[in-house]
Amino acid sequence: MSRPLLPSAMLLAPLILAACIPMEARNETPPPQLNADAAAVELVEAEPVWTAQQVVANAQTVATSTYVVQPGDTLRGIGNRTGAGSEAIARANGLTPPFAIRIGQKLTIPGGRYHLVAEGETGIAIASAYGVAWSRIVAANGLTEPFMLRRGQRLLLPGEAPATAPSLEQRAAAFHIDIDDVLTGGQPAAAENAPVAVASSQPRPLPSNVPIAQPGSFAGRFDWPVKGKLLSRFGPGESGAKNNGIDIGVPAGTPIRAAADGVVAYAGDRVAVFGGLVLINHGSGWVSAYGHASRVDVVRGQKITRGQTIGLTGDTGYASQPKLHFELRKDRVPVNPVAHLPTAP
């Protein structure tokens, strides 16, 4: 059964990237507007997965209470009965895997607003529907790797419910997204133990409600994605703004090559600051990012090998000249790519 697409006005636009805007060399120029030439990016897969399933903001408010465990109760069943998330109940009562409970045990039911996750919903779409930063929802629910949402899961929403439902414009203004949000909130929710897509080397778009398989452990090395002039380095620049990667000046249309083997976690142009952007999950907590592409040749869930061309460089997004923005992240934390690359590009 096909799932409804959000109208174009609802496609989380404008997505405002909270990650820093990479520093140019010494002569900085004002960044283009958020609606700059992102549309100029050539894509195999036009829409990101988080636009495929519309999220209805119908969270249930649950009062803090006490529940006495009855014969046959399970933690998930108690969550369904009370409206609270089973994970939130476990945290409130100091329960750890395998989450054993006993008859007569008194459990604290943590109050708050809970969203019931439907199949195909992503964290980004849920956060956008409520105008809340996805990172705050991750923190409120203690979500961890691999950040896979489960159909029927109840997510605790941070903050109080607004007196009136916020407008689309208000939600867009309150909602920010960065690379970490894409990595932690870009997978569609599925039924528990549902099969995940096995990575294919062919650029065939996956169904929007199918999560992708996580790559195995990574023990390889990284190569330079392009050869060119280093325009800006990792870390704080002259203005104090932090660059989470490096920027390499190259002619437009230069092939971008994958730094290592992995699986594409994201390929698109909806993160406005980077224009054409590819994120590759290498396993063991390693992720590489490639921004400002004029053409993206890969799709979500595609298996990639080191040195494979994944797109072409350009000046899309917040770029005043053709270049590649390149990042490496370990366990969600940006690290200096130069420290993990061969001596010279």
In the predicted structure, residue 20 carries a pLDDT above the cut 60: no
The beta strand positions in the chain, using DSSP E, are: 16-17, 60-62, 65-68, 106-109, 112-116, 154-157, 176-177, 229-232, 235-236, 242-243, 246-249, 255-257, 262-268, 276-283, 286-296, 303-304, 309-313, 323-330, 333-335
Domains observed in the chain: 8-50+198-340 (2.70.70.10), 60-185 (3.10.350.10)
Model pLDDT for residues 283-326, shown as the tens digit of each residue: 999 999 999 999 999 999 999 999 999 999 999 999 999 999 99
CA pair distance 130, 125, nearest whole angstrom: 9
Q: What local confidence, expressed as pLDDT, does residue 210 receive? A: 83
- How many C-alpha atoms does 52 have within 13 Å on its Cβ side? 25
Model pLDDT for residues 203-219, shown as the tens digit of each residue: 888 887 788 888 888 98
| Mean pLDDT value across residues 234-256 | 91
pTM of the full structure: 0.80
Both structure tokens of 277:
């952007």
pLDDT-based confidence at 37, cuts 50/70/90? very low
CB atoms within 10 A of CB 230: 12
Nearest to 321 by CA among 32, 16, 4: 32
pLDDT-based confidence at 163, cuts 50/70/90? low
Model pLDDT for residues 100-148, shown as the tens digit of each residue: 999 999 999 999 999 999 999 999 999 999 989 999 999 999 998 889 9
Roughly how many angstroms between the first and final C-alpha of the chain, as a whole number?
A: 48
CA pair distance 124, 143, nearest whole angstrom: 14
Gyration radius of the chain's alpha carbons: 21
